[in-house]
Copies of this chain bind each other. A is one copy, B any other.
Amino acid sequence: MEQQVKNKQIVLKNYVNGFPKESDLILNASATISLKLPEGSKAVLVKNLYLSCDPYMRGRMSESKGSYVDSFTPGSPIAGFGVAKVLDSGHSNFKKGDLVWGLTGWEEYSIINSLETLFKIQDTDVPLSYYTGILGMPGMTAYAGFYEICAPKKGEYVFVSAASGAVGQLVGQFAKLSGCYVVGSAGTKEKVDLLKNKFGFDEAFNYKEEQDLEAALKRYFPNGIDIYFENVGGKMLEAVLSNMRFNGRISACGMISQYNLEQGEGVRNLVNIVTKSVRMQGFIVSNYFHMYPKFMEMVMPLIKEGKICYIEDVAEGLESGPAALVGLFSGRNVGKQVVVVARE
């Protein structure tokens, strides 16, 4: 047997009901792993560098109700998107030393068997952590959800909720690049300032300071909303629906306000979908991964020319992972939440 090294892991204690707590995730400091794959393995062994905290992961902490992703296994390390370095490979597409991004484990080292969600990193001229965000799953989500689902036209009115998050900050910038008028909502003054001063949103507001979301949206969109990039659900969706314009489009990317509720909130105003010919479309980003090269071709020059920017909230060390992940659901993070496991 090959020599074993320590492999710290973040393990799901048990299925979660309601809001997840830091204590739902525990550090297992005693696991070990061999840094060489067994003879004949077709997997890839990686050292994890950056881990991505994403709201959809909440669904995997619950017992499966036939969702599009499997539940995590209590007692086992959780999984998510991340950036990693290949230490050993049984597959010809990957070789030792390659940098990759894709689905990996929340641990120091992982053996990755599902290679269809593992992408080789070609361009290292940008921060590697970007491959958990703007150049990874959230970037593809913003791209597919905005361009493919919403088909924006110049001059249209765009609203983005959770607008300073991993996906929202990009959608807002894509909307500006498309010649749209874009307003974002977020939950703190700091985030609202970022939206206006850093990401170039035309307007932004703190939804927690609004008594009447419907009236707030009417103030920012006197002519109504053509495109809503939906990240939150619940009362915000309700308020948006009555402000939609004819032929409006809603890209249903996520509904973070609902993930921790035993029973989701009731949403009124759906009749506007009928009366205003609105299209509301949910989507799973993995169905759009074939467009990744096209996306990279668009976004990489924008980054390098400084025409698009990306804000990350970086937590240091695997140990900080549970707090970082749980913090998403109280909006603690400012920008894309990343966990650094190792820098190389």
Contacts and interface: CB of A to CB of B under 8 A. Distances in A.
Contacts of A233: 270-271, 274
Nearest to A244: B282
Interface string A230-246: 10010001100000001
Interface string A259-273: 100011111111111
B252 A274 contact: yes
**On chain A, which size bracket covers the interface?**
35 or more
Contact of A277 (B258, B259, B266, B283): B283
A122 interface: no
A284 B253 CA distance: 25
Contacts of A272: 282
B282 A276 contact: yes
A238 to B, nearest CB: 8
A67 to B, nearest CB: 5
A254 B282 contact: no
Contacts of A68: 246, 275-277
A271 B283 contact: no
Given A279-B280, A279-B282, A280-B279, A254 B274 contact: yes
B274 A282 contact: yes
A278 B287 CA distance: 13
A74 interface: no
B270 A255 contact: yes
Contacts of A23: none
A281 interface: yes
